[in-house]
Structure 1
Amino acid sequence: MLLPNNAYVAVADGEKLQLYRNDGDAGAPSLAAMQVPEVDSDNKGAGGRHASSFANPDDSQQNEDGFAAGTAAMLNQQVLAGHIEKLVIIAAPRTLGELRKHYHKTLSAALLGEIAKDLTGHSLKDVEATLAAH
């Protein structure tokens, strides 16, 4: 995947978020770790308004869905404020599904791509290799 200069990469699962910016160019990306803005995980996701449901049977899953919803809200805010113009999201498959439920249309327009893979806690080289392979 070609990653233009100043494009962002968000790597997420249900508990962690890492944010990187490409300081290189599309042909030779150079990812730099960025400080992650505060993620409000109080939102329990699309199905979390009920005390319990078959879709989200336990608190752990509701917490993960809430973190994904909070991550999407933070990314929406960053895109709407003009801080992020181009974005790639790499997320655990279930987290990616929850993130998609909360994308603002402006975030969707800024998306260069999505990769359904859990890379949180992996090295920067693993993230770069995954981007290069897609």
Structure 2
Amino acid sequence: MSIWVVVADASRARIFSADKSFSPLVEEEDLSHPKARLHAQELETERMGRAFDSTGEGRHALSREVPPKKQEAQRFARELCERLNTARASGRFERLYIIAAPAFLGILRNCLDDTMQKSVAGTVDKNLAAHDVEEIRRQLPRFL
């Protein structure tokens, strides 16, 4: 039985594997999304437009539907979900645990398809992407 543990935030995802429920975690991949580390103003390519009020002479700035930082997090989550779907379909793991920063965990859940959602054995809403493997293992159930 193969088990995968994904530890992620909006800019980094680490994938660990364990052969058995009590095996130590072995890091398989370390994915990076550097754009998520940029400031919002660095992500914006142009200034937002301005619009006239329907009455009077006022003008106001238009706003984005989704802020640039969140767009980058969504882009990285979709990329990660695609990688996980491919790995699950090819039989690289049977069960999946996800440890992710709370905001990113929500974005990640939204992009997991129904089959992948059934493979998720548990989630932890903590940002441990930069922590060592021992700390990550302590956040998981004793027997995966």
With the length of structure 2 as denominator, give the TM-score of the two structures: 0.70
Aligned to 1:7: 3
CA deviation vs aligned residue, 1:41-82 (integer Å, no higher than 9, x gap): 9xxxxxxxxx921xx22x222112211121112112211222
CA RMSD of aligned residues (A): 2.4
CA contact (8 A) 2:10 2:104 kept: yes
Give the counterpart of 1:117 among 91, 107, 126. Answer: 126
8 Å CA contact retained: 1:38, 1:74 = no
Larger Rg over CA atoms: 2
Contact 2:12 2:31 in 1 (8 A): no
Residues 37, 124 of structure 1: alpha-carbon distance in 2 compared, 3 angstrom cutoff = closer
The 4+ residue runs of structure 1 with deviation greater than 3 A are 36-39
Paired position in structure 1 for 2:96: 87
How many residues are matched?
Answer: 115
Whole-angstrom CA distance in 2 between matches of 1:52 and 1:68: 20
Equivalent positions of 1:43-82 (< 5 A) are: 52-53=64-65, 56-57=66-67, 59-82=68-91
Identity across matched positions, percent = 26
Q: 5+ unaligned residues in a row in structure 2: which ranges?
A: 36-62
